[in-house]
Structure 1
Amino acid sequence: MGWTLQSDDKDVRRGIGKRGIVSYTHSRACHCLISKSNPEKTLSFFVLHVITRINYGQSVNISGLAGAVSLAGSGGGLWSVEGGNWQMAAGLINRSEVVLHLHEEIESISYLGDVYELNSTKGKSYNCQVAVVATPLDELNIIFDPAISIPPRKLQHTYATFVRGLLNPAYFGLDSLSDIPELVGTTETADVPFSSISILKQHEKDMTYKIFSCEPLADALLEDIFSVRVETIKINWAAYPHYQAPETYAPFILDGKHLYYVNAFENAASTMETSAVAAENIARLILSRLSQQVHYSSTNLKSFTSDSSKLHVEL
């Protein structure tokens, strides 16, 4: 009996709608997104494997929802901001008119009965009525008083290596540079040291390549992969959770009061878009809980009340 990958994102959305989003975090992607109907088992399975490796650095054993998000990011219609996607965050910060403290980390968060006290690495203290943690806590050492409890979660580190130069066709068993595709994807195999190699930018005489890998790439290996290497930049990136179905979640409210955690959502899926949704939901939750009854509406937003059951459904 063969397996076939669901044909497009409409099929994926239809399947998720029938089963429910939460159920897709309880099963592995290979079980949720591949149906037993087509003799081309190997092709379907390996295509999904390559996609999840490129987008999450992990195999088809990730959760079904994370796998579906990987598929959504593999099709057409993708976009980027000219000059860099960092401008999205910069624009939001500028529009919010907040005071931004750069190069300053929070060491501890204490609840003093009516306010939270945040102490920074620069010896400064900040008092606030509401505190929102918008960074993964898994590899940080922030001290909470009273202590909080969240399920253990391992982050998946992706090593991003940017190389300006030219690939070596011989490394790939090919005769010429033109034979190498613009995107080289791989499956999880011990003797393949990278997840993907893609062309980031074309220059007059060479290229800038982006390489994703689960381990740092040694310079000796890069000398084999590239025939010409002009410049190399390496980044160790704690990119997303290491998905393992069934997923467990940290609470969005860490202390039952007004200490909130945006990144609890990342156990479902981790993208810029889903993080934006999680952040908006936290903002709505804050407004709803600070007031006995808040009606917050616009052309795209629903009204919310302090009814906790309704909040759970909406959020």
Structure 2
Amino acid sequence: EAVSQVITRINYGQSVEISGFAGGVSLAGSGSGLWAVEGGNWQLAAGLIQRSGVDLHLSEEITSISDHGGGVYQLNSSKGNSFDCHVVVVATPLDELDIRFVPGITIPPRKMHHTHATFVRGLLNPAYFGMGDASDIPDLVGTVESDDIPFSSISVLDADKEGDTIYKIFSRKTMTDSLLDDIFSMRKETVRIDWAAYPHYHAPEEYAPFVLDGKHLYYVNTFENAASAIEASAVAAENVARLVVSRRAGRRGASKLKAFGAADSPHLHYEL
């Protein structure tokens, strides 16, 4: 159980009391054979945007989504722009956003779990970990559930051009300067990020619908109630794309979209 605690705290910042499927995904993400894009997984999103040829509006939030009838939705933005669309896909958690829907929508309440990610360029203090030398500290320090432990994990992220080590700390609360000064014998740079990383998991989970209004207002992130991962989001996004194609064509069956690799693997199921 202690090993499972370490894994769920690192991957979801939560205890082993999370729902079973999320726990299984968390354990799967701790094994060997994991893949990542060289240079950063952010390139997946960047590559998809580039291939799609869409107009990208950065630093511009959508403030309202209105059904104007006749199959047209109007989106209004924080910069005063309006966009008329036949299909709207919401691909971000709605739980902490203030988007006004006209007419209103109803989704089950969901609490998001905030992870505090702290990045430090410096040197760990071996005395804090009960060790005599910094080289004795492993590259990954995981923790179990205890009120006395102020972080979920500390790991080596990278080494910069100057040869300094960059550490990544996950915690449930802000890592204060005084606490960081205890953990590190030297800090050159510190960056803190507080983000609503994933839902707070508890069984049984209650899901919002993928189609929010029975028409063409779709919600990808309802799937995060099962598990939050880049792979899970990709599956949810593909299924929403199939919903759009099949429902826009007036059919309830499988769409004409084919899954990646379907031609090479006839046993893959790519129907909706």
TM bin, normalised by shorter chain, reads: over 0.9
Instruction: Tell me the distance in 2 between the aligned counterparts of 1:141 and 1:298.
Output: 36
Q: Is residue 251 of structure 2 the alignment partner of residue 279 of structure 1?
A: no
Q: 2:219 aligns with which of 236, 250, 261?
A: 261
Q: 1:147 to 1:95 in 2, by over 3 A?
A: same
Q: Percent identity?
A: 67
Aligned with 1:162 (options 116, 119, 126) = 119
C-alpha distance after superposition, 1:42-87 (max 9, x if no partner): xxx1100110000000000101111111111101112222222111
Question: Residue 236 of structure 1: SS of its match in structure 2?
Answer: strand
Instruction: Give the RMSD, CA atoms, in angstroms.
Output: 1.6
Q: 1:117 to 1:48 in 2, by over 3 A?
A: same
Q: Which runs of 5+ in 1 are unaligned?
A: 1-44, 303-312
Give a deviation string over 1:208-230, Cα, whole Å, max 9, x none. 10000000000000000001111
Paired residue secondary structure (2:155):
strand
Cα distance between partner residues in 2 of 1:47 and 1:176: 25
Shift of the 196–295 alpha-carbon distance from structure 1 to 2, 3 Å rule, reads closer
* Matching residue's letter, 1:296: K
1:246 aligns with 2:204: yes
- Choose from 64, 69, 78 the match for 2:20: 64
Give the structure-2-normalised TM-score.
0.92
CA distance in structure 2 between the aligned counterparts of 1:213 and 1:295, rounded to whole angstroms: 43
Provide the residue aligned with 2:256 in structure 1: 296
Check if 1:88 corresponds to 2:78: no
Q: 1:171 to 1:112 in 2, by over 3 A?
A: same
- Structure 2 alignment gaps of length 5 or more: 263-269
Q: TM-score with structure 1 length normalisation?
A: 0.80
SS at match of 1:69: helix
Does residue 46 (structure 1) correspond to residue 2 (structure 2)? The answer is: yes
Match 1:104 to one of 33, 50, 60: 60
Question: 3-state DSSP class of the match of 1:275?
Answer: helix
**1:201 corresponds to which of 158, 162, 168:** 158
Question: How many aligned residue pairs are there?
Answer: 261
Tell me which of the two structures has the higher relative contact order, counting C-alpha pairs closer than 8 angstroms and 6 or more residues apart: 2
User: 1:163 corresponds to which letter in structure 2?
Assistant: V
**Partner AA of 1:246 in structure 2:** P
Give the whole-Å Cα distance in 1 for the aligned partners of 2:224 and 2:144: 24
